Structure 1
Amino acid sequence: MMERVAILGTGLLGTSVGLALRAAGFHGSIVGWNRSRAQAETALSMGAIDSIGTDPIAVARASQVVLLAVPIFATLDFMEQLAPVLGPSQLVTDVGSTKTQITESADRHFNTIDRAGFLPGHPMAGKERGGAEMADANLFRNAVWLFTDFPAWQRSAESAALARNWREWVIAMGARILDLGPQRHDELVAWVSHLPQFAATALSAVIEDEMGEAPELKDVGGRALREMTRLGASPWSMWRDIAHTNTDAIAAALEALEQRLAHIRENLRTPQLRDEFEKANRFRRE
């Protein structure tokens, strides 16, 4: 079963996976690689990985399971590089926040009896700031880990067994598994993850423009301001790829929010404002 794991990308998620595997009782080897050597060294010092690889392709070739914990475009690049050099006794999986393009790439390059398997995954867990130093062994506890697996894929017996084993380790890390189609995945996360991020970004940016010079701003804002703008600290480097690979679904969600905000603006003195609060309260209760 799974004894050798490679984590390509030892940022927040990759390092947290290493820590969570260890906490769940995984005793095999974990090799890490990161474009920033400092991030890999942090992961090593935290005990998330056993050693640092210098060549990500060589690290992957020497492993049974390869976790791609890098931005989406980098994941797609790695998939093309790894497909010709990995074999049917290996499995690649990922943690990307959008799944349609990754699943389509998996269908083109992996999941046949003579090639490595690929299991597209997405843990619904994270923090507004990245980096190995923010990693947490409990990050995935009580979180949902989404998979966009295709039942029709013809994996080899070895890679199919590794896919099952990886799912078992995800559960051991404390997560709950949910299987979705890739298009449905991207539609749902556009509403529950991507829209909150872009709304927080817009709110933080407009306050910075309009009130950023007010010295008393943060004292007056208090908890409400902190909670509503927490996601405004998220890095553009991660969200750029998400915006590029889920553009239509995000744009549709943003347009719906724009219309709802306009409706609220137009009804600040009418009973319809109460209806909006009742709907919002109902959503929170449910």
Structure 2
Amino acid sequence: MNYRHAFHAGNFADVLKHAVLTLCLAHLGKKANKPFAYIDTHAGIGRYDLSGSEAQRSPEWRDGIARLLAAERPEEVDRVLKPYLDTVRALNGGTGELTSYPGSPAIAAHMMGRSDRLHLCELHEADSVTLDRLFATDRRVKVEKRDGYRALKSLLPPKEKRGLVLVDPPFEHRDEMAHMAEAVVDAIPRFDTGTYIFWRPLKDMWAAERFDVGLAEWLLAEQGLQPEKILRADLWVRDPASEGKLSGAGVFVVNPPFTLEEDLLFVLPWLCDLFARDEDAGWRLDGGITEDSLAVDEF
């Protein structure tokens, strides 16, 4: 599949991904006197015009972030989503009107402090130029036209010794999961205390399960991580085996904040009901993930 961000900005998959991202950033930001680094391997253009041609051709944001903002949210759901929704509102002028959707780099830049640092990689030439222009006056941000997977070798560990790495490729290649796995094996030993968020679609279920199982086995057996240091959160709005548009997506998080699983337990069932397209919509949250909890026949 080809998942160029501009065509899907603000959809249900972005909502889940960015809700998780903001919760992780907020946790890192609690130690104001200890700066941290944010590394984005596939940064895109940073912000997406919802009146632009891509968003208009595929206005998935209407059934994603727009529906979420308009919904009456339970108190606990609103608490968990507050960092995310406050950021979206702030980057739209605080008026409540949606004119653009912030990508992960814009969200991170908004939430991070003056002494924190952002390193954004984007291989697509035109997109990297657009991204660089967006952050031209922000001294915290460095943009590189570079393969983000390969960049991790020189970027890790960050000098701050604290940080978050987001791996969110467009899945333009059939073997994207393999590329992501190779990057994981090289990156985590270099910076084993960092928080990693791996986004993947639930389109090819076999590939997603193979990545999840392989990564979990390697982290537990080879890297000695405790099960609570691994978390998977997935959401699908229709049968994941159905043809056509993306049915589901989720994140695999390494070294998540200790509160993340509990927070997502409030949010995922509610988001599933909000975004469901049919009765086959669902969600899953694996905390303390092990090989036994990773089984494709759950679907």
TM-score (norm 2): 0.38
> Which protein, 1 or 2, shows the higher relative CO under an 8 Å CA cutoff with sep ≥ 6?
2
**Higher strand fraction (1 or 2):** 2
**Higher helix fraction (1 or 2):** 1
Q: Which has the larger radius of gyration?
A: 1
